[in-house]
Structure 1
Amino acid sequence: MSAAETPASIQAFVDATNREDADGFLAVFAEDAVLDDRGRKFRGRDQIAEWSRSDNMGVHSHLTLVSLKPGTEESAFTATVSVKGNGYNGIGTMTIHVDGQHIASLVIS
């Protein structure tokens, strides 16, 4: 999947994280979105903001989208992401469901 085919919400998630733009980051998520970080669930923008402060922007994560493939469900994608920063470093997989211009759910595995 080329960058031109990457859904805008997924690209905005990566870009906002790399700029450490908290408002832009939260705007990417639907108001009732769910983020699951290896079993720790965060529901809604307020809890996702808490996660970002402790596990994402708070540790200066920098994301590189290595690959993005269509998932098994409509509007779902499997992303391989390289992460660098003061927290987790390495390659990870995310399952992302988009709903229009927003991320409805993001599961980090």
Structure 2
Amino acid sequence: MSPDKPAETPAEIPAAVRRALDAIDALDNDAFVAAFAEDGYVDDWGREFRGHERIRSWSDNELIGKRATFTDTQVTTPGNPLTVLTQVGGDGFNGPSHFTFDVQNDELASMTITA
């Protein structure tokens, strides 16, 4: 994670979530998609993208393809699902967002983005 992000203990952020956040930091779409279960999905403010192919396409157009950055990331709701609040930057949406991750069998079942 970027140096400007607070360090969370590994117990606070499950490995699957950490892999997705690290992939975003590295702008690595392959690693981001690989963090999801085959039938996992992204819910981007009510728009759902299910399965690796659709998640990859969404990320190409909305997240990693827009060189998204996450700063000031903090866990706001620990557990499973886990929610983080982060400041999103890059060439797409810029502003604060909540990302809620549901982890099943060490993979992301879902990632839901809200205000």
Q: Which residue of the partner structure matches residue 66 of structure 2?
A: 59
Mapped partners of 2:9, 2:93: distance in 1: 25
Over the residues paired in the alignment, what is the CA RMSD in angstroms? 1.6
Give the equivalent residue in structure 1 for 2:78.
70
Are the aligned partners of 1:14 and 1:64 in contact in 2 as well (CA < 8 Å)?
A: no
In structure 2, what is the equivalent of residue 22 of structure 1? Answer: 29
TM-score by length of structure 1 reads: 0.89
1:12-43 CA distances to partner (integer Å, 9 max, x unpaired)? 11111121112111110000001110111101
Which residue is equivalent to 2:17?
10
CA distance in 1 between partners of 2:10 and 2:43 (Å)? 27
Structure 2: 5+ residue runs without aligned partners? 1-6
- 2:107, 2:19 → 1: CA distance? 10
Give identity over the alignment, percent: 35
From the two aligned structures, give the one with the greater helix fraction: 1
Instruction: Report the CA distance shift for 1:64/1:8 in structure 2 as closer, same or farther (over 3 A).
Output: farther
2:111 corresponds to 1:84: no
TM-score, normalization by structure 2: 0.84
Q: What 5-or-longer segments of structure 1 have no aligned partner? A: none
Deviation at 1:65?
5.8
Q: CA deviation at 1:64?
A: 3.0
Q: 2: CA distance between counterparts of 1:97 and 1:9? A: 9
List structure 1 runs of 4+ shifted beyond 4 angstroms: none
Which residue of the partner structure matches residue 99 of structure 1?
Answer: 104
- Mapped contact 1:64–1:81 kept (Cα < 8 A): yes
Total equivalences in the alignment: 106
Residue 50 of structure 1 is matched in structure 2 by 57
